[in-house]
Structure 1
Amino acid sequence: MLETSARLLRLLSLLQTRPEWSGPELAARLGISVRTVRRDVEKLRSLDYPVEVDLGPTGGYRLGAGAALPPLLLDDEEAVAVAVSLQTAGGAGIAGLSETAVGALVKLERILPERLRRRVSAIGVSTVAPLRALPSVEPATLVAVGGACRDRRVLELDYTAHDGAGSRRRVEPHHLVAWGRRWYLLAYDLGRDDWRTLRLDRIVPRVAPDGLATGPRFTPRDVPGGDPAEYVASKVRDVRPVRCRARVHAGVDEVRARIWTDQVGLDDLGDGTCRVRLAGDDVQGVAITLAALGLEFEVEEPAELGVALRGMGERCARAADSSARGVARRPS
């Protein structure tokens, strides 16, 4: 059996890993009685850890929000993952996060053991600014919506649609999905009795003063198709005005590994080729995406895509010719 101080740390660690534990579950994990669990919880509460207690028959326990942030217990892998994530946070598209993330990373690195500091420094991370400015997500929104997903609580929110129309929603938030360079919430809309994919930068959650949802708990529904990421991808692709198709001489896996846009659908044609369905703001952008694959392909539609590719090829050929002439004139 663990000594009391070590057991308290282990109990705190368990409470941080799940939204709620029953008394018997904690007792089994710690190798103690349910009565001892209750005593240990009271000791944590006396140390100002905000452990909430459900006085029902199973004695549920959860770590709530307190007036101050208590110490977090991270194992080695979690500490490395957090540090690396903070390194990349500057390009995450979350408003005001870059400077905050650097400050948090400095604090974390000060207390990392040398062996973990070496592991973090060995993972070089560079952040490249996006080609175009994208709407950013407020950190408070990410926390509120992510917390509602975690705790399975109904969330009330205001939503602004693509055309600027506003609406009040009451949803069961199931998953947060980062697709392309945007965040999406996959939720079941109770007012529309259907699944919805909502852009996080267009959401204003209605939450309590502590920033968390207060709606009733719900039982998770089965996501159509079973894969939240694929479901979101199927809804957010092909939303731009220009639609193009091409047959690429490579398999689906190779094309997926090379393509960067989220506005794409891939169909395996069964003969070592695949059909690429791209959406874009204009055919020029789609032409650049296809050319950047570095693979052989044929245009299926529209004809304007072929025109754009031909013009691109001619410009590239002229650039190559001018480069060759420059090399020929250059003194040896």
Structure 2
Amino acid sequence: MRTVFFFDKSRAKAEKLMKFSFWKKASGFELDSAILLNSDALREKLSGRKNDVLIAFSDGADIFSPECFPETKKYFPQMLIIVIGKDGTYSAARTYFISGVFDYLIYPFEESVLEQAVYRIYEAQGEDYISVLKLKADALIDNIFLGGGQEKFIIREIFDQIYRDWNNDHVNCQIVSEKAKSYIYETLVERKPWLEKFLYKPDFYHHSGFSLKNRDELINQWVINFRDASVMVKKYQMIDDKLVYRIGKYVVVHVDERLSLDDVSAGVFLNPSYISHIFKKVVGMSFVNFMTEVKIDRAKVLLKNPDTRINEVAYTLGYSNQEYFTRTFKKKTSLTPLEYQKMLIARGWNIH
């Protein structure tokens, strides 16, 4: 638990901040009701405090002004300080951040601005914790590359540890779990860069604000997202075969382009007839069918963004017209692209 202190010579602005609604959801923070009105009271109360938060209003002529802040910070080296001022110049902001301010906000601002700053404090708390989860996170990664099957079990183990280590604090647990999720995604993509084309990146990164989910909701979302990863790895692991690796890799890397057998042939310097023959022999499906599968799997990812239009997806994937893309998509999925997108939105799987 971090204590949040306020410094405001006028008192009124700090009182307004203390009434912001998001504090009720910020369970890792406790507001100190005694607003500090001058530098003497500040030093007396905060001397020796560690890991707490100070939100300080500056009128430009006090100890939190850009000129004085570097010296002021020396008195409170281990506190996270958010300065709120009116000087929006680059030089002022640069001085603050070089001197170690956690954040600098220009007053006045909406409640969401301070909420974002406080959210970043949560993030800072969990930065180093990923190393603690590394063994379990790596176990999930290994399982995905082996074709999956144990995702739910491993994910529950990860959440058991997070909630145990963070004393069931829901905000901290969600922040840490989101950090871990991003780490796992980044490792997957680092090891198999083509995988980035077939996973919807916003599914694996945290989102602004205190939009809290309970433990089961977080686990279920992890299971959905990482099972998707397992399916893609298992489905396209055949392109790791040395006989078709260059061919398959070229298709997945260039999926967002108009592709034909001749295009791939020119790209990998192999005869079109040879590509068709060897691909059918090794993979068990025609090369044209493989290209279509790759295109449709990529389309499913693009359609997860509710703001993306069907014609934009068709254009991105190199289809000559939207009607042909729609027919191809429906043949593979039994749904039109629009029906598929509406289904995702109804299930709440779309994230900006």
Bucket of the pairwise TM-score, normalised by the shorter protein: under 0.3
**TM-score normalised per structure 1:** 0.26
Which of the pair is proportionally richer in strand?
Answer: 1
Which of the pair is proportionally richer in helix?
Answer: 2
